Amino acid sequence: MSARVSDHPLIRHKLHLLRERATEPKKFRELVRELGTMLAYEATADLALASVRVETPLTSLDAHRLAERVGLVPVLRAGLGMVEGVWEVLPMAEVWHIGLYRDEQTLRPVEYYNKLPVQPTVDVCLVLDPMLATGGSAVATVDVLKRRGARRIKFVGIIAAPEGVRRLSEAHPDVPIHVAAVDTHLNEHGYIVPGLGDAGDRQFGTA
């Protein structure tokens, strides 16, 4: 499976600002939040609906409400910045935190925090991480979610490397990948090129 790359003009516009090295942390956070809103909007286009009778001030009609509960799983720390944005369109979504850091020697994910419920309490999980680089953290997060019983999982990111898309798709072909761009490659330090640098450092001003 390949990534679903948004071609929405607003997403492309905001992505060029996000990539720009001169973009300061305040603006960077705002863009991550806004892109989170728009990418979640696209990623949730297939959520199931149920009929509901509604009384308007004028009459009544059969309308629709969401029939699926959604959980957000931001991968700490960079994924945190997308949560507020996704909440704009899914204010009722639960947030489950999982912390993984990348061992700089092996480039493999190491889990250091896990606040996922033992039993799934939602129908669809959106794994949030702005950067799908090697795919190691994404695969590890989906592994954990599946072990906890999650059945429908989607990955929502901003920029992916082809290596990350391949690795996540091979490990979890049932997990659709929604991003704003797939860049050319990873460099020897595991950074996406051209990318935007370290999404955590740029949000939290730690570069």
Chain residues binding ligand URA by CB under 6 A are 78, 131, 133, 190-192, 195, 198-200
Residues 109/165, Cβ–Cβ less than 8 Å:
no
Distances in whole angstroms, Cα of residue 173 to Cα of each of 88, 130, 152, 176: 29, 20, 12, 8
Active site residue 201: yes
CB of 164 to ligand URA, least distance (A): 9
Residue of 56, 62, 106, 147 with catalytic role: 106
Query: 156-179 burial, b if ≥16 CB within 10 A, otherwise e?
Result: bbbbbbbbbbebbbeebeebbbbb
Minimum gap (Å) between residue 159 Cβ and ligand URA: 7
- Smaller CB separation from ligand URA, 120 or 200: 200
Whichever of 120 and 157 has its CB closer to ligand URA, that residue is 157
Query: Active-site residue 106, yes or no?
Result: yes
**Toward ligand URA, which CB reaches closer, 38 or 199?**
199
Active site residue 108: no
4, 77, 102, 148: the active-site residue? 102
Buried b (16+ CB within 10 A) or exposed e, 112-151: eeeebeeebebbbbbbbbbbbbbbbbbbbbbebbbeeebe
Least distance to ligand URA, CB of residue 198, Å: 4
At 93, list the tokens. Answer: 């979504």
Q: Residue 68 or 190: which CB sits closer to ligand URA? A: 190
DSSP 144-176: HHHHTT--EEEEE-SEE-HHHHHHHHHH-TTS-
Is residue 102 part of the annotated active site? The answer reads yes
Q: To the nearest whole angstrom, how small is the minimum distance from the Cβ of residue 38 to ligand URA?
A: 20
Rg (CA), the chain: 17
Catalytic residues: 102, 106, 198, 201
